[in-house]
Structure formats: structure tokens, C-alpha cells
Amino acid sequence: MTQELNQRLQQLEPLAKRGLFDQLRRGLEKESLRTTPEGWISQKSHPQALGSTLTHPHITTDYSEALLEFITPVSCSREQTLDFLLDLHRFSLARLEDHELLWPASMPCRLDGNASVRIAEYGHSNVGKMKTVYRHGLDWRYGRIMQSIAGLHYNVSFPDELWPRLAEIEGLPAEVANDAWRSRKYFALIRNFRRYSWLLMYLFGASPAVDESFLAEHPEHPLKPLAKATWGSPLATSLRMSDLGYQNKVQSSLKICFNSLDNYIQTLNEAIHTSHPGYEDIGVKVAGEYRQLNTNILQIENEYYSDIRPKRVTRSGQKPSEALQEKGVEYIEVRCLDLNPFLPGGIDIAQMRFLDTFLLYCLLETSPELSDQACKQVDDNLARAVNAGRDPHTQIWWFEQEASTERPLLEAASELLERLHPVALLLDKSHQEDAPFSSALAQQQARVDDPSLTPSARLLELIQESGSYLEAILQLARAQREQLMTCPLDKSREKLFAELAATSLQQQKDLEANEALSFDDYLAEYFAAEKAT
């Protein structure tokens, strides 16, 4: 722990005792595939009883028609957030047809080639068509199978009262804590997150194996046979975050800079406005059908895959970078988390407490800018952790200010958890009778001391017991469905969800009835406005 961090923790202690850090705001976005009872990806349309995927605030789809996405409201209560997420599961499970299941793992169920992953549909409005065309572009660029992977996004913003206090701790007037200053602090957090996110891969990675059907588009994969129709890596933690997951060669050449908000927006915009020869070969509108939105490296900003993003809530029609440019960073989105297949929500309260501790450490610890060499080492760390994180011989780059040296991952993990301990103690200050954050930290130290306790190791053990990846996850999916359905949904919440579903369907109809532009003109105006900014 640096001297600067120690001083910040000491001076924040009075605020912690008053419950400042109980005001952290968070939300969850969790994806889950709909599958048949036998574990095949669903070919059915999104159930109308769940509402419109275009306009529903809490139940939508991600890439495919079968990939449900559950979105919680923002809340200061971890318990309320998780309860809401589980209620979304209960509501949805009760309305799935033909005994469909929710797949609880990040790597997909049984697939039948690229075409078995149905592209999500959002109706006939221009905004709905644009969402579908964007997904067709992803298909042409990367294939659909990669888009069948599920994950969990953890969104966090820090209390408004924290920022002026941090400024004062740094010897600055409280008034300096404006939008630009908060953005600089959030980017400092992001840089430290990238330095240390390998730890999250080790602790929470839960995708060391895949069903063989996932590999149809990867004939030269590096995986080994582990069980019937099951391939994987015995010491891997998260194939989802490996080269088999959300990675691609074109984006790997991007130099997205996290040293400042202006540089981040500039480098992202360059990718959005730079045409790529390979995508030019695909074409945009061919034989009257759109294949993609454009031929640029990124069709839109959301196409950029990153383990963490700076975010701000956007107005209707506003692009993410415009919102950031206008008012700065409002919250951060952690995107590298696998679903924990042993938990019906994919996450539990202890993990949420640990993530809050980790993120606060990243915010408060000194965070030098990342050089090009450091960025390469950060990426190297992530690759080593996801591919062989439980190998005791795996080394990672350990950062001390602007220098870095290689050291064993497990040794570095123990030291980093030790550095997190004072932050956990600070967060415990508002909990007089127990120490929930220190307890959450101790749970993770146990996983470092004994790698067999990690979700990735536990899943491999279950695969061996069950006979295959498919049977292991099906076993979990069936048990979780029974667990959730035996605890009835509160009547008032069920009524709320039903009303939201009906309202969202009407909102989609209204959008479709009031279109004034052709889709060609709508796209032309959309990208003309983007170039103007």
C-alpha cells in the first residue's frame, strides 16, 4: 500500500463511519441464454409475455433472440439489487414456453452451427431495424457463435459527497471537484482496474470448458478433450475472456487510450470513422439487404469490446461519447465477469462486496498513466490469467508505480488482497456488529490459498462427475429453475412486471406507427449527425 493511499484511507474514516460508502450506487446487467430442456439453444421468438425487447427497461435481449438480458434499477442496496435480478428470473421462467431453461453459464449450450444462433429482432421502427442490422454486421464480421456467450456487467458510481472530500485530501479546494475532475478520477480508477483485473479473472472466472458445438468455427483451437463432447483447458479460468471469446484481430489493433477522457473519446471516434478494407469487402447494402451499418472498424461505439468502460446515462438519441463529452463520466461498467453457474443470479452479495472493495482501491490508489509498453503488459496479464490462471507456474507483470516486474500470479494475488485489506476495513466502519467486507476478502484469499475453491476448478470437477459440460450445466439449470420457482414472486412485483411488459409492447407499436423517415434516410441522418459532432 502506498503512503498516499494510507493517508486517504485515514482521512476518509470519519465519512466511512457515517455511512458514506453505503451510498455507492450500483446496477447489474445479466445475460442468459434460453435453451430447450435438452440444452439446445432456443429457436423460439422472445416471449411476448415478457414485453418488447426494444422498450422494456428491465428485460431485453443482447445479440441473439435467445440471449435474454436482465437489467436492474440503480440502487444503493446490494440486497435489493440481487433480489430484483432474481425476481426478473422468476417472472421470465414462469412465462417461457415448452419448459425452456435459463442457461446459467457464460459459455453457451449446445449449438447447431452459426445459423442456430438467431439474430435478435426489435420490430419495424427505424431504431429497432438499426439494432438488428448492427447485429447482422457482427455476424458478418465475427460470426454468431461468439455472440452466444453470456456475461454479467457490474455498474458502479461513487457518492457525490466523496469527490469534494477527495479534492480536499489532495490539498485542493472542494470546488475543483467538477465534472472534468471526477472524470479524471474515474479514468485513474480504470487504469488501476486494468493493471489488476487479472485478479478478477482468477477469482471469478467460471468458463474453463465448452461444449464441442461451440468450436465449429474454431477448427484450430488450442483446447484439449476433457469429457464427452467437452473441450477446455485444465488450468484455465475464463475462456470467455480468451481469444475464443470476445476478442477479434481487428479490434486488437485499436489503441484505445484510458489516460484521459479526451484521448479516450478521440481514439474511439477514430475507430468509428475509419473504414476497414475487410469490412469494405462485405459491403453495406447488397441486393437490397443491409449487411452492416457501415464499413468502419466499429459500426457504433458499443462494438468496442473492453473489460471496463466509462459511462454516462444518455438522453434519447444521444451517443455514449457525446454524453461523456458533455458532462463527463458518471459511472463505470465492469464487463469482464463470467456468470457464476453455481448461483441463480450469476453473482452473490459477497462478490459484490469484494468488487466494491476492489473498485474503491482502484480509485484511491495512485494511478500513473499507462505507457504503450504497460498497456501490452496489462493485456498479457489478462491472457495469462484466463488461459492458465490456476497454474502455480503462471507469472504476471506486477506494477510498482511506473515500473513492472514478473512474479508468480498466486504470490501477486496474495499481496494484492493484502493491499485491499485496509480498504475493506474502511468499508466495514459503518457495520459495527460484523465485518462483511473483510469477510468477503477472506473468502477470496481462501481461493488463492486453495485454487480448487475457484468457480473454474469447481466447474471442471462437476463436469467430471456429470460426464460432460452439457450435462453439468443442465443439472445446474434445472436445479436453479426449481429453486427459483419454489419461492413465489411477490404479487406486487409480479403486477409491476406484467404492467411493464404491456406498456413496452404499446410503446413499440407507437414508435412503429409514427415513423416519418425511410430506414435509408434515418441511417443517413444518424451518421450525418455523428460526423457533425
List of residues 6+ apart from 463 with CB closer than 8 A: 209, 226, 227, 230, 232, 469, 472
Q: In this model, does residue 72 exceed pLDDT 90?
A: yes
Quick one: pLDDT at residue 251? 66
Phi, psi (deg, nearest 5) at residue 33? -75, 140
Quick one: pLDDT at residue 299? 95
CATH fold for the domain made of 3-532: Creatine Kinase; Chain A, domain 2 (3.30.590)
Quick one: pLDDT at residue 39? 98
- H or E stretch covering 87: helix 78-93
Average pLDDT (356-376) is 95
Tens of pLDDT, residues 379-429: 999 999 999 999 999 999 999 877 789 999 999 999 999 999 999 999 999
Tens of pLDDT, residues 153-192: 999 999 999 999 999 999 999 999 999 999 999 999 999 9
For the CA atoms of 326, 332, 335, 341, what is the dihedral angle to 10 degrees? -140
- Grade residue 1 by pLDDT with cuts at 50, 70 and 90: low
CA 169/CA 186 separation, integer angstroms: 17
Average pLDDT (137-144) is 94
Instruction: Map out the domains of the chain as residue ranges.
Output: 3-532
For residue 227, what is its C-alpha cell?
A: 469429457
Quick one: pLDDT at residue 246? 66
Tens of pLDDT, residues 111-130: 999 999 999 999 999 999 99
Instruction: Tell me the percentage of the chain whose pLDDT exceeds 70.
Output: 97
Quick one: pLDDT at residue 403? 77
- Grade residue 218 by pLDDT with cuts at 50, 70 and 90: confident
Q: In this model, does residue 285 exceed pLDDT 90?
A: yes
Average pLDDT (32-61) is 98
Question: Could you tell me the CA-to-CA distances from 1 to 8, 335, 423 in Å, in that order?
Answer: 11, 26, 10
- Grade residue 529 by pLDDT with cuts at 50, 70 and 90: confident
- Grade residue 431 by pLDDT with cuts at 50, 70 and 90: confident
Instruction: Identify whether the C-beta of residue 232 lies closer than 8 Å to the C-beta of residue 226.
Output: yes
Quick one: pLDDT at residue 316? 80
- Mean per-residue pLDDT over the chain, rounded: 94
Q: In this model, does residue 305 exceed pLDDT 90?
A: no
Q: In this model, does residue 532 exceed pLDDT 60?
A: no
Instruction: Identify whether the C-beta of residue 169 lies closer than 8 Å to the C-beta of residue 7.
Output: yes
Average pLDDT (130-137) is 97
- Give the number of C-alpha atoms closer than 13 A to the C-alpha of residue 89, restricted to the C-beta side: 28
Quick one: pLDDT at residue 317? 77
Instruction: Identify whether the C-beta of residue 456 lies closer than 8 Å to the C-beta of residue 236.
Output: yes
Quick one: pLDDT at residue 432? 75
Tens of pLDDT, residues 222-236: 999 999 999 999 999
Looking up cell 498516499 gives: 4
**Residue scoring higher pLDDT (488 or 501):** 501
For residue 437, what is its C-alpha cell?
A: 467486507
Quick one: pLDDT at residue 257? 75
Instruction: Identify whether the C-beta of residue 148 lies closer than 8 Å to the C-beta of residue 67.
Output: yes
- Grade residue 504 by pLDDT with cuts at 50, 70 and 90: very high
pTM reported for the whole predicted model: 0.97
Quick one: pLDDT at residue 248? 59
What are residue 400's DSSP bridge partners? 403
